[in-house]
Amino acid sequence: MPNRIQISACTISSRQCRCFEKLTSEEMKILNENSVVITYKKKEIICKQGSFVSHVMYVEKGLVKVFLDNGSNSLVLKMIPEGNLLGLSSLSEDHNTYQYSAMAYIDTEIRQINISTFRQLLKQNADFSKEVIDIFSANSVQVYGRFFCLTHKQAYGRLADILLCLSERIFKQSEFHLPLSRKDLAELSGMSSETVIRMLKKFNDDGLIRMEGKNLHILDFERLQRISDTG
């Protein structure tokens, strides 16, 4: 009997960027000379869907929300923690506008790298180029899995996914200060704020988690994982 395929709805980028390790010292010098670090405050827009692309971004510190927006509705595609690239979908010269918007969930530092410089490094360094392609592929697989889970998993499974992702990929511990509002969690899990509040209370009452204000402690990883797996 083959193992059941598990598809994660985790919104958080899982592949840490190692591409800059592939650059020579001279190439790193060129990159640094053609980049600048900008600080964004919590809730500040980093890039706007449809605006012209001038740079690729690297999250040096903080947490970023990537989303699609049509003016009246928005869909969160993923969350990008520090150590990850942002804007790779606009590397092709055929796409000179950002395909999505990005906003800082918390105070965030972004290194903006001139896109012409980044493209030149891709052309001249095969190892650097391969690593960037691998990151882009991993991001695509993640988004595909998220869409599958948003359309097939029940509400409890989607919320369990988010809590596990925050614990395992962002904070890397079972107890942490939650930087997201109930509204943010609702956006991520595709539910209303009222539903998220009710479900968090049930998780708390059932002994899966303990919430005290903004502090969240996952008490039973195994049961929460089962909820995530079965949806």
116-134 tens-digit pLDDT: 999 999 999 999 999 999 9
pTM of the predicted model, to two decimals?
0.82
pLDDT at 151: 77
The letter for the amino acid at 135 is: I
Residue 6 has pLDDT above 60, yes or no: no
Residue 154 has pLDDT above 90, yes or no: no
Looking up tokens 């993640």 gives 142
Q: State the average pLDDT over residues 154-175.
A: 88
Q: State the average pLDDT over residues 135-150.
A: 78
pLDDT at 25: 96
End residue of a domain, out of 105, 134, 149: 149
Bigger pLDDT: 19 vs 165: 19
82: domain CATH number is: 2.60.120.10
Looking up tokens 């209303």 gives 192
pLDDT band for position 149 (cuts 50, 70, 90): confident
pLDDT tens digits for 50-93?
999 999 999 999 999 999 888 777 888 888 889 999 888 878 77
Would 85 be classed as within a structural domain?
Answer: yes
Would 39 be classed as within a structural domain?
Answer: yes
End residue of a domain, out of 108, 129, 149: 149
Residue 1 has pLDDT above 50, yes or no: no
pLDDT at 127: 96
Domain that holds residue 68: 19-149
pLDDT band for position 2 (cuts 50, 70, 90): very low
Write down the mean pLDDT value for the chain. Answer: 87
Beta bridge partners of residue 210, listed in sequence order = 217
Together in a domain, 166 and 85? no
Number of folded domains that form the chain: 2
Q: Which of 122, 133, 152, 104 is nearest to 30 (CA)?
A: 122
Together in a domain, 144 and 159? no
- The answer to whether residues 10 and 80 touch, using CB atoms and an 8 Å cutoff, is no
End residue of a domain, out of 97, 120, 149: 149
Together in a domain, 49 and 126? yes
- The answer to whether residues 49 and 68 touch, using CB atoms and an 8 Å cutoff, is yes
Together in a domain, 105 and 160? no
Together in a domain, 145 and 214? no
- C-alpha 177/C-alpha 160 separation (Å) is 17
